[in-house]
Amino acid sequence: MDNILTQQEAMLRSGQISEVDYTLKLKLEKGSQEYEGETTVRFVYSGGKKGKLKVDFVSKKIEILWINGKEETNYEKKESALFLSGELLAEGKNELKVKYKNAFDHSGSGFHKFTDPSDKAEYMHTDFEPFEAHRLFPSFDQPDLKATYELEITGPSEWTYIHNTVPKSEETQGNYKNIKFNKTKKFSTYLFSLIVGPYAVWEDKAGEIPLRIFCRKSLSKYMDAENLFAITKEAFGFLQEYFGVPYPYGKYDQIFVPEFNMGAMENVGAVTFSESYIFRGPRIYSEYLNRANTVYHEMVHMWFGNLVTMKWWNDLWLNESFADYLSYYSMSNGKIFPDALEHFYVREEWAYREDQLSTTHPIAGKAENTLEAISNFDGISYSKGASVLRQLMYYVGEEKFRDAMRLYFKRHAEKNTVLNDFLSCMSETSGIDIRGWSKEWLETTGVNTLSPVRQNGRLFLHQGPSATNGLLRTHALQASLFREKNGKLEEVWKKRILVKGKETLLEENYSGEADLLLLNTEDFAYAKTYLSKESLPILKRSLHTLKDRFSRRVVWGSLWQMVRDAELSPKEFLELALDQGLKEPDLSVRNSHILTKALTVIDNYIPEAEKRTWSDKLNSIAKERSLLAQNPEQEQILWFRILENTSKSPEQLSYLKELLDQKKSIPGIAMDQERRWVILSRLSAYGDPESSKRIEEETSKDNTDLGAKKAFLAKVSFPDPKTKKESWERFLQPKEGDSTDFLRYGMRGFQWNHQKQLLVSYTDSYFNSVISVYETRDPHFASAFGHMMFPSFEPDPNLLKRTQEFLDQNKKLPELLRKDLQQQRDDMQRTLKVLEKYKN
């Protein structure tokens, strides 16, 4: 696979190339798997006519190539690039023109094409981050060669065509439409967008900014455009004023596209979203909040990432950390989701997990090439970077932090930046030299652990070093002391604390007994926090009496860190979850911090012999609670999910089947299409003899692409050697028309913990085939295969040993695979450590 650009190549090229602009002409036909293109690239060259100039380009066929008006055949074409001899170029202005044919992509990236099985409508969308624009047109596909784009497109007249700008002219002749779009502003190639198809559309305005929402026709009945427009308007209302720069790109489109690989993509003025955000039934509050957060996140990118862009992918955090934090921060300043920063605390668990893996990297990381850049779209670049920015805002103050953003945009609009550009703006506005802070936080790895200690009448805070490098850091945080009075926890004090070194004194003369010292209330610091062992009996009695919801979140978050670090018995956590946890009044706390974690503990951190006992307990509670007619809808959704997730015995599965057949019902829970597929997959996984017939019947009722994907998941789940063998072979040798997204659904159904005996032979198959998958398939498929097909149905010292040997013996593994396998190994080590410590 040579579809890679190295940082070295990019630096060399940006030293030779400047003042780039593109003119694109595309022709699309109905029912075709390919399209015609003609691209003109104008640029200034200063390479001294030496060597070769690399132009990134994946194409099926180049028909004619011109350089400066002259047809040229003396060029070299490789899989993903054209190489032009420096002798063919003029010093100064040049024009490269290429006429070509190309094939659509089916991996979710590049120029992806999808046919809706329910109405045979065709949809296309681009997705180019970090290095895919050259799948559509020949380009200098790197972030620091910003350019303008002028697009002309001809295609079927009934299709809608969406681009970064609005059309300047449109002509229809017969069955075809020709559209010329306005020239764009200057931006990086990966932000170019083209979305095509017979989309349904909704329109509105945010002040003077025209807003549109699009989704495919067959999903339009589920689109709650009014809600999404309200969120979009609120976001514009805050961000334009906050950044001190009006929205730079005229119009703002949000398009929900099929088979999208990520949550969303911030293309200039035409943001694409995963269709998973089109809710086909009622959801719980946190899911609505997460969707709104994605809307905010992509809008923050219009400034952080689009207006000012990192020079190269090693500074990806200059895009993602800011979008990740400022989206939650902005929401917390609005009226729709004012509690957003509490949900940011939930998201940080992603950062804590990844920062303790051997694959962690500094926030301001390195990316030697575009493949390595893909692996940096992770919990460090997003969630840890965001958390550290929250810490910085607390440290320098909200106004100074905001003023640094304003200076940054004023100074670097339409340019590319590196770490020091941000640091100098922050240092100027805050009056503090931020470079020392950067060295401590942005340029190191690992997370510190803060614990309360009571000793000799003193109360202090102990800082443990980050595991691999022994670093202690400076933390600004808030701590709160609660005391038990008449069976209730009441706040005694709340303090802002600056933590330096191993010990920080909180109280010199301390005599508290029944106290709970809670570290990092309101979550200003990036650090794991523990609770003292002495406070556990208090929590078992009175945790639910703690009035402040955010503080209750932090208690459960600390308990979870202690379980993962083998500092708290998993059984003790489960006992607390099934007692105090059930008294938790807030559903989103109960869902994210208690019930979801209880399921994870049962699946991973208790011995095999005890899993069924705990699962049955939870199933019984879910069944009992779900039958309470007075429960609000969101609570019912939660209990149904737990009930389904813990149904394993014949009796429990029989109850699900009765729900499916509507012989029994749960108040407020409609047996909609999504729930039907969820139950069918579980029945199939547990070998229900009717499952094959039921899947066929369900497929005939649900003729959507999602129906086909969920049917595939359900079929693959069946515990039968022939089924498993056929699906394994299909993942490795897909049938024609199998998209990456379709195969991902199948992979989700392949491994079930109770099918260990059936699956154990695939351990060899996995290690024999995984290198080839990463070498030959697109990165999104490869990573899905690497994670989902890894034989993780039970933590096993033999599997740990085998994984380590595989890593040791294969020194030249693809980098993405090495990272994915190291993470699997690290997770196994952690799980085995917890199991070993608490096996009795």
Q: Which residues of 695-723 are buried (b: 16+ CB within 10 A; e: fewer)?
A: beebbeebebbbbbbbbbbbbbbbbeeeb
How far is Cα 708 from Cα 580, in angstroms, rounded to an integer? 42
C-beta separation of 95 from 41 below 8 A: yes
Q: Measured between alpha carbons, how far is 635 from 633 in angstroms, rounded to an integer?
A: 5
Report the alpha-carbon distance of residue 730 to residue 738 in Å, rounded: 9
DSSP 162-198: EESS-EEEEEEETTEEEEEEPPP-SB-GGG--EEEES
- What does the radius of gyration of the chain's CA atoms come to, in whole angstroms? 28
Q: Cα(387)–Cα(373) distance, rounded to whole angstroms? A: 21
3-state SS class at 29: coil
First to last CA, the chain: 50
H or E stretch including 228? helix 225-243
CB 761 within 8 A of CB 746: no
Q: Please report, for residues 565, 588, 772, 804, the alpha-carbon distance to residue 800 in angstroms, rounded to integers and kept in the order given.
A: 19, 35, 21, 6
Contact 194, 120 (CB under 8 A): no
Residue 641 in tokens: 């999910």
* Interacting residues of 196 by C-beta distance below 8 A, sequence separation 6+: 28, 123, 124, 125, 153, 155, 159, 160, 161, 162
- What 3-state class would DSSP assign to 268? coil
Which strand ranges, in their side-by-side order, compose the sheet holding 475-485?
488-499, 475-485, 515-519
In single-letter form, the type of residue at position 834 comes to: V
Q: Are strands 167-173 and 176-181 parallel, antiparallel or unpaired?
A: antiparallel
Query: Which residue matches tokens 């069944």?
Result: 623
Q: What's the per-residue H, E or C state across 695-747? A: HHHHHHHCCCHHHHHHHHHHHHHCCCHHHHHHHHHHHHCCCCCCCHHHHHHHH
Active-site option among 129, 266, 298, 349: 298
Cα 214 to Cα 207: distance, rounded to the nearest angstrom:
20
The count of other CB atoms within 10 Å of the CB of residue 669 is 18
Distance CA 252, CA 166 (A): 10
Cβ neighbours of residue 519 under 8 Å, at least 6 residues apart?
450, 451, 452, 461, 477, 479, 527, 529, 530, 554, 558
Q: Which residues pair with 105 in a beta bridge?
A: 112
- Locate 645 and state its tokens: 């997730």
In angstroms, the CA 107 to CA 20 distance is 29
Task: Return the bridge partners of 178, or none.
Answer: 154, 171
Structure token pair of residue 684: 């199939």
Q: Is 77 helix (H, G, I), strand (E, B) or coil?
A: strand
Residue 761 CB neighbour total at 10 angstroms: 12
Structure-token pair, residue 65: 């190539």
Kindly report the backbone phi and psi dihedral angles of residue 819, in degrees, each rounded to the nearest multiple of 5, phi listed first.
Answer: -65, -45
Bridge partners of 452, per DSSP, are: 461
Q: Does 298 participate in catalysis according to the annotation?
A: yes
Q: How far apart are CA 467 and CA 490, in angstroms?
A: 35
Q: Which helix (H) or strand (E) holds 770?
A: helix 762-776
85 contacts 44 by C-beta, under 8 angstroms:
no
**If DSSP codes are grouped into helix, strand and coil, which group holds residue 346?**
helix
Which residues are identified as catalytic?
A: 298
